[in-house]
Amino acid sequence: MGEFDLIARYFKRPAKRSPLGVGDDCALLAPAAGMQLAVSSDMLVEGRHFLSTVEPARLGHKALAVNLSDLAACGAKPLAFTLALALPGVDEPWLEGFSRGLLALADAHGCELVGGDTTRGPLNICITVFGEVPAGAALLRSGARAGDDIWVSGTPGEARLALEVFRGTIALPADAFDTARRRMEQPTPRVALGQALRGIATSAVDVSDGLIGDLGHILASSGVGATLDVDAATALISVDTGNLGEELRRTCALSGGDDYELVFTAPASARNAVGQAGMDSSTRVTRIGRIEADAGLRIVDAAGAPVSQRFGSFDHFV
């Protein structure tokens, strides 16, 4: 199968909303008047962002989900995406599964595949996603203010549990592993929540490298510090972790990435509005800390006592 047949069979579909889709030198997008275009690009490499054992359909889902998660963190509505794909060869069952998972999530969010590139090479998936947001309404990392609450969506830390099982460092009951594995391999981008938080949240980021590391981006961009309640975050892990110790559960909750939950801040006066945004988007939201003027991140337990355990963050080069 040649390059153009491959594109036609697995990735070419008629563009419905975009003026021009797959098959010309460029795709054309027409943002509505008064809208800004939010753009994000993520590259997934085997062995770093996914294991070779992952089902192709789940991988297709995840490749788009991590990009939609960036739109969610900006409060943007998905519009379209491009897919650049390096493949070691033409593996039709893989392409069938990958494109099925990818396009199912795209359809669920009304996000059109409008173009891209295919080439031979070590497996590499690069998606660039486009969303729209009213001018001036995007959620940024830089808007957190002292006194704001810190919130997190969903159940961060479960993807990391699955990774630790794959690494062989822990064991989980079968049901718990299945749930955690799905969280790692097929994360749910919080697209509806992100849009519901426009005008309410003062800052937001999606958790890809770990809750602490990504919250750190908000603190640095906003020039503030924070106190975080490790027990409130750890309690969100809802899968049965059997006899695993609390230290490991805390590590998963605070350092685990790959859940693609949103961490965001909002004034204490907006607690009801945040709760409503969570309900409107069918997404659990939980307060886990508070922004403070003093720089640095202070981690405390439910009783307010400092926690001495150290938590890391993921970095591709250290």
Known binding-site residues for ATP equal: 116-117, 141, 208
The smaller minimum CB distance to its own copies, of residues 74 and 254, is found at 74
Report how far residue 63's alpha carbon sits from residue 192's, in angstroms, rounded to the nearest whole number. Answer: 19
Does the footprint of its own copies cover residue 27 (CB under 8 A)? Answer: yes
The smaller minimum CB distance to its own copies, of residues 80 and 266, is found at 80
Does the footprint of its own copies cover residue 122 (CB under 8 A)? Answer: yes
Radius of gyration of the chain (CA): 20
Q: Distances in Å between the alpha carbon of 96 and those of 2, 101, 110?
A: 16, 9, 20
Site for its own copies in 40-59 (CB under 8 A): 40-43, 45-49
* Kind of pairing between the strands at 285-292 and 149-153: antiparallel
The site for its own copies, by CB under 8 A, has a size of 72
Binds its own copies by CB under 8 A, chosen from 61, 70, 155, 236: 70
Kindly report the number of other CB atoms within 10 A of residue 166's CB atom.
13
Q: Is the dihedral of CA 274, 219, 50, 132 positive or negative?
A: positive
Does the footprint of its own copies cover residue 24 (CB under 8 A)? Answer: yes
The smaller minimum CB distance to its own copies, of residues 71 and 163, is found at 71
Paired residues of 266 in beta bridges: 149
Site for its own copies in 135-194 (CB under 8 A): 135, 138, 140-142
Does the footprint of its own copies cover residue 200 (CB under 8 A)? Answer: no
Does the footprint of its own copies cover residue 64 (CB under 8 A)? Answer: no
Binds its own copies by CB under 8 A, chosen from 114, 197, 211, 288: 114
Does the footprint of its own copies cover residue 317 (CB under 8 A)? Answer: yes
Nearest alpha-carbon partner for 258 in 189, 176, 169, 173:
189
Report how far residue 206's alpha carbon sits from residue 68's, in angstroms, rounded to the nearest whole number. Answer: 10
Q: Please write down the HEC assignment for all residues of 115-135.
A: EEEEEECCCEEEEEEEEEEEC
Binds its own copies by CB under 8 A, chosen from 95, 191, 201, 205: 205
Q: Is 39 within 8 Å of 130 (Cβ atoms)?
A: yes
Does the footprint of its own copies cover residue 93 (CB under 8 A)? Answer: no
The smaller minimum CB distance to its own copies, of residues 303 and 310, is found at 310
Kindly report the number of other CB atoms within 10 A of residue 293's CB atom.
10
**Stretches 22-30, 165-173, 183-191, 300-308: which one binds its own copies (CB under 8 A)?**
22-30
Does the footprint of its own copies cover residue 85 (CB under 8 A)? Answer: yes
Cβ of residue 70: shortest distance to its own copies, in angstroms? 4
The smaller minimum CB distance to its own copies, of residues 90 and 108, is found at 90
The smaller minimum CB distance to its own copies, of residues 83 and 163, is found at 83
Report how far residue 137's alpha carbon sits from residue 237's, in angstroms, rounded to the nearest whole number. Answer: 32
Does the footprint of its own copies cover residue 297 (CB under 8 A)? Answer: no
Q: How many residues are listed for the chain in this entry? A: 318
Binds its own copies by CB under 8 A, chosen from 22, 176, 196, 204: 204
Q: In which region does residue 201 sit, left (phi positive, over 0), alpha (psi from -120 to 50) or beta (all else)?
A: beta
175: three-class secondary structure by DSSP = helix
Binds its own copies by CB under 8 A, chosen from 8, 9, 17, 19: 19
